[in-house]
Each structure stands twice: as structure tokens, then as C-alpha cells.
């Protein structure tokens, strides 16, 4: 899942970058409001972590503009001021949650998981497709009771495919949600990672779950789609 961090404090950026990348998020960083809005127009994010006190347009203005554009991307606001009025303002302009500095990375990650589960129906932390089980909170994967060891990129790919099970996902969509602006996301690199993931997920299983729709993309499904090319 791809996250945008909007923060101008280099120490906090370094601190959060480490925690978010270790938690297998693809991460972009903006250090002012204008750059944040520019990145938001270019990329599709699964969540935004937005500090209120940033140069240029502040976090409140960025969130207000984001919502005026019709975006429903989850937003967690950060502030150094533990003031009720600040929290009210943040929520009123469209933030989904609010976190006061200083905080632990573990709390931010928990809040991030929570806002990303929200929607028309509450999403479970456990995703099951056939005999594949993904615990998105613990970030563990097993198939048929067999624990699987995945790299950070493989896990990110699998979670995104699982959250969209039954739907063909294009390479460009995978690039938007699983890779960040610092990553090499050329088509052949995506194919290589998918092939590695397929070897782990479908190895020793009678029914493959990861299918390729030639010229279109990939689908995670218990039944092979028409024109499937494994």
C-alpha cells in the first residue's frame, strides 16, 4: 500500500520513513503543502499522513483542498499542539484521524491500518481466499496451514491483490499502489516479483491462485479467468 508523508522536520521524516518501510508500505515524502498537492495529483495514495504545521499551504489547507477535489483517501493529521480546537479543525476539514506529537511508530501504524480498513463496510484484518490466509495486522501469510516467508515487496503485492481479489489489476495500478517514487517499477520488474510470489504462493498447491491476463494484468482468484496465461 502506498502512503504519502507530508512533514518538514527531517528528524521525524527519517524516523517515520524507517518505521513505515519496515512495515512494508511504499512511501513518498513531501515537505510542504504545494509539493504535497502536486504529488497527490500525480499519484494515487492509499493513505496520507499530514502534519498541520508545514511550509506554504498548511496541513488544514491541504486537507481542505484534497476533499474539495472529491478525494476520499484516508488522512491522519499530525500536530505538536494537543489542543481540542486543533483536533476539531482537522476533523472538520476532512481528516479521518488525529495524532499528537510525540508518538510511537506502533501507534501510527495501528491508526493507519484502522483508517485504511474503513469504507462502506468495515474490512477485516484477516483476508481469506480459498486456503490462503493473510493477517494484515501481523503481516503473516499461510496457505493450507503452511507459513510462507515473503519479502516486503512480495507481501505488499500479495496484500494489494488480495484486497482486490477477483478483479484484474493492471501493471500501472500495481505501480501506483505498491511502488513509490524511489523504486524501479518497470513492467519487467513487476513481472519478476509476481513470478517470485507465484512460486511461493502456488508451489505444491493443486489450485493456483495468481493468474496472468495477458496484456492486461494479474488477478488473485480461486478460479482461473478466461484467457488465463500462467
The answer on pLDDT for 186 being more than 70 is no
Final residue of a structural domain among 82, 100, 117 = 117
The reported pLDDT for the residue numbered 81 is 73
The reported pLDDT for the residue numbered 184 is 61
Query: What percentage of the chain has pLDDT greater than the value 90?
Result: 58
Number of structural domains (the chain) is: 2
Q: How confident is the model at residue 19 (pLDDT cuts 50, 70, 90)?
A: very high
Domain shared by 61 and 165, yes or no: no
| CA distance linking residue 40 with residue 30, whole number of Å | 10
| CA distance linking residue 135 with residue 114, whole number of Å | 14
What residue numbers bound the domain in which 201 lies?
Answer: 126-220
Better pLDDT: 206 or 149: 149
Task: Report the DSSP pairing between strands 132-135 and 126-129.
Answer: antiparallel
Domain shared by 104 and 136, yes or no: no
Better pLDDT: 124 or 114: 114
The reported pLDDT for the residue numbered 226 is 58
Better pLDDT: 125 or 165: 165
Amino acid at each position: 500500500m502506498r502512503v504519502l508523508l507530508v512533514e518538514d522536520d527531517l528528524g521525524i521524516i527519517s524516523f517515520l520513513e524507517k518505521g513505515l518501510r519496515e512495515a512494508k508500505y511504499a512511501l513518498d515524502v513531501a515537505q510542504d503543502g504545494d509539493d504535497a498537492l502536486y504529488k497527490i495529483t500525480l499519484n494515487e495514495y492509499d493513505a496520507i499522513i499530514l502534519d498541520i504545521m508545514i511550509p506554504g499551504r498548511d496541513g488544514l489547507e491541504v486537507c481542505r483542498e484534497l476533499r474539495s477535489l472529491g478525494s476520499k483517501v484516508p488522512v491522519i493529521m499530525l500536530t505538536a499542539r494537543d489542543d481540542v480546537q486543533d483536533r476539531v479543525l482537522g476533523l472538520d476539514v476532512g481528516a479521518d484521524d488525529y495524532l499528537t506529537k510525540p508518538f510511537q511508530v506502533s501507534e501510527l501504524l495501528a491508526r493507519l491500518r484502522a483508517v485504511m480498513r474503513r469504507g462502506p463496510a468495515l474490512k477485516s484484518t484477516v483476508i481469506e481466499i480459498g486456503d490462503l490466509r493473510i493477517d494484515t495486522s501481523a503481516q503473516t501469510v499461510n496457505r493450507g496451514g503452511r507459513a510462507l516467508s515473503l519479502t516486503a515487496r512480495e507481501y505488499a503485492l500479495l496484500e494489494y491483490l488480495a484486497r482486490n481479489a477477483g478483479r484484474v489489476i493492471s501493471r500501472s495500478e500495481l505501480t501506483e499502489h505498491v511502488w513509490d517514487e524511489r523504486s524501479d517499477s518497470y513492467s519487467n520488474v513487476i513481472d519478476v516479483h509476481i513470478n517470485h510470489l507465484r512460486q511461493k504462493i502456488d508451489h505444491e498447491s493443486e489450485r493456483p491462485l495468481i493468474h496472468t491476463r495477458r496484456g492486461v494484468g494479474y488477478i488473485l482468484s480461486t478460479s482461473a479467468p478466461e484467457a488465463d496465461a500462467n
